Structure 1
Amino acid sequence: MIRVILLGAGNVAQHLYKAFYKQPAITIVQCYNRKGVRLHPDQNENNVTKNIASIKEADIYIMAVSDDAIKTLSSQLPFTNRLVVHTSGSVPMIAINNSNRQGVFYPLQTFTSDKAVDFAKIPICIEGDQEKDLFLIERLALLLSKKTYQISSAQRNILHVSAVFVNNFTNHLFSIGNDICKENNIPFEILHPLLQETAKKALEINPNKAQTGPAMRNDTKTIARHLKLLSDPSQQEIYQTLTKAIQSKYGKKL
C-alpha cells in the first residue's frame, strides 16, 4: 500500500485524486490546499486541511501546484527527510527544498476540470534523487499507467516545450479557426473531420511527410487571398509567420 498526500487543488490535483482513489493499492491519506476545499464531492472533509502544520505522515507527498508555488510551498513543509515530488513539466527537480528528498511525477497531458481523462493512456515522466525513491515513484506511476518513463529534468524541459507546440499552440490555432467560422456564420463542425484526420496522420506517419497546404505548394495567389480575408492583424501575422516557417523548412520562400 502506497500512502499519498496531495498538495494543491487545481486541475492536476483533482484528476490525480480521481485516479488514485480508484486504485486499491493507493491510500490518499490527506489533501492540503490553502482554502481547505475537497478535490471530489465524495471526499471526506476530515481528510482535507488548510493548515500546513497539520499535514500527516505519508510515503510520498505530491505537489500539484503552479510552477511558481513549488519552491515556496516545499520550503514551508513542516517536516524533513520525506519524499516530496512535483508534477511540473518545466520546473527542475532541485527546485524542491532540499530539506526533503526530491522527485518528479509528471503526467504529460492537458487537464481540464470537467473533462475526464484515462490515465492508462497518459505517459508519466518520473525522476528521483535517490534510487529507493525513484523505485517508489515508479511503483506509484505504474499503478496508473504502463507508459512510465525515467526522464531527467533537462529532458523533461525539452518535452514540455514540444508539448506547448503540439498542444497549446495547436489549440490556439483551432480557436482561431473557430473564430473565423463563427464570424462568417459557418459551423465549425464542418472542420471536425479535417481536425481529426490531421491529428491521426501526425500519429501514424512522420509529421514532416504529412505537411500539405498553400505554403507547402508555394501557392502565392491563394496565400495573398487568404491574407486579404483576414481582418484581424494578429491572425494575419500568425498566418504569415507560419507560412514563412513552413516554406523555410521545406526549402521555399514566401
Structure 2
Amino acid sequence: MVSVILLGAGNVASHLFEAFYNAENISVTQWYNRSLKKLSSYKNKVEITDDLNNLKAANIYILAVSDDAIAELSKQLPLKDQFVVHTSGSVNVYDLDKKHKRGVFYPLQTFSKDTSMDFANVPICIETINKSDYHILKELALNLGSPLKKVNSEQRRVLHLAAVFVNNFTNQLYRIGHEITESQGAEFDLLKPLILETAKKVQDISPYMAQTGPAKRNDKKTIKKHLNSLESLHHQDIYNLLTSSIQQTHGRKKL
C-alpha cells in the first residue's frame, strides 16, 4: 500500500484524489490546502488540513499546485528527507527544496473541473533524483493503470511545450470557431465530428501527412474569401499566421 498526502486543491489535485481514492493499493492519508473551503466537500472521504505543521507521515507528498508556488511550498514543508514530488510539466525537479528526496509525477493530460478522467488514458512522466525512489512512483502510476515513462527535466519541458500547442492553443482555435459560427447563426455542433476525425487521424499518420485545407493547396481565392469574411482583425491575424505556417511547412508560396 502506497500512502500519499496531497497538497493543493486545483484541477490536477482533485482528479488525482479521485483516482487515488478509487485505487486498491493507494491510501490518501491527508489532503492539505491553505483554504479548507475548497476541500470541504471531501471531508467525509479524507482528513483535510490547512496547517502544514499538522502533516502526517506518508510515503509520498505530492505538490499539485501552480508552477510558481512549488519552490516556496517545498521550502515551507516541515519535513526532512521525505519523498516530495510535484506534478508540473515545466518546473525542474531541482526547484524542490534540497532538504527533501525529490521527484516529479507529471500526468500528461488536460484536466477540467467537471469532467471525469480515466487514468488508463493519462501517461505519467516520472523523474527522480535518486534512482532508489523511482520504484515508488512507478508503483503509484501502475496502481492507477496509467502508462508511464521515465523522463528527465528537459524532456518533460519539451513535452509540456508541445502540449501547449496541441491542447491549449488548439482549444483556443475551437473557441474561435465557436465564435465564428455563433456570429452567423451556424451550428458549432456540426464541426464536432470533424474535430474527432482530426484527432483520430494523427493516431495513425503524422500531422504532416494529415494536413489538408486551402493553405496546403494554396487556394488563394478561398483564402481571400475567408479573410474577407472574418470581422475580427484578431481572427484575421491568426488566420494569416497559421496559413503562412502551413504554407512554409508544405513548400507553398506565402501570400
- Alpha-carbon distance between aligned partners in 1 of 2:40 and 2:140, rounded to the nearest angstrom: 20
Measured after TM superposition, the shift of residue 146 of structure 1 is: 4.0
Q: Percent identity?
A: 49
Q: 1:39 to 1:185 in 2, by over 3 A?
A: same
- SS at 1:12's partner residue? helix
- SS at 1:57's partner residue? coil
Q: 1:125 to 1:47 in 2, by over 3 A?
A: same
How many residue pairs get aligned? The number is 254
Contact residue 81 and residue 100 of structure 2 kept, 8 A = yes
Measured after TM superposition, the shift of residue 37 of structure 1 is: 3.8
Which stretches of structure 1, 4 residues or longer, exceed 2 Å deviation after superposition?
37-46
Which residue identity is paired with 1:66?
S
TM-score by length of 1: 0.97
Q: C-alpha deviations, 1:38-83, integer Å up to 9, x for none?
A: 6483543771000111111110000000000000000000010000
The answer for the alignment partner of 1:239 in structure 2 is: 239
The answer for the alignment partner of 1:20 in structure 2 is: 20
The answer for the alignment partner of 1:75 in structure 2 is: 75
Tell me, which stretches of 5 or more residues in structure 1 are unaligned?
A: none
- Alpha-carbon distance between aligned partners in 1 of 2:36 and 2:129, rounded to the nearest angstrom: 30
The answer for the alignment partner of 1:221 in structure 2 is: 221
Tell me, which stretches of 5 or more residues in structure 2 are unaligned?
A: none
Pair 1:35-2:71 in alignment: no
Pair 1:52-2:52 in alignment: yes
- Alpha-carbon distance between aligned partners in 2 of 1:147 and 1:136, rounded to the nearest angstrom: 15
* 1:135-174 map, 5 Å: 135-174=135-174
Report the RMSD for the aligned CA atoms in angstroms: 1.3
- Alpha-carbon distance between aligned partners in 2 of 1:42 and 1:252, rounded to the nearest angstrom: 56
- Alpha-carbon distance between aligned partners in 1 of 2:115 and 2:155, rounded to the nearest angstrom: 28
Q: C-alpha deviations, 1:145-185, integer Å up to 9, x for none?
A: 34100010000000001101110011110110010000000
Q: C-alpha deviations, 1:98-117, integer Å up to 9, x for none?
A: 01110000000000110001
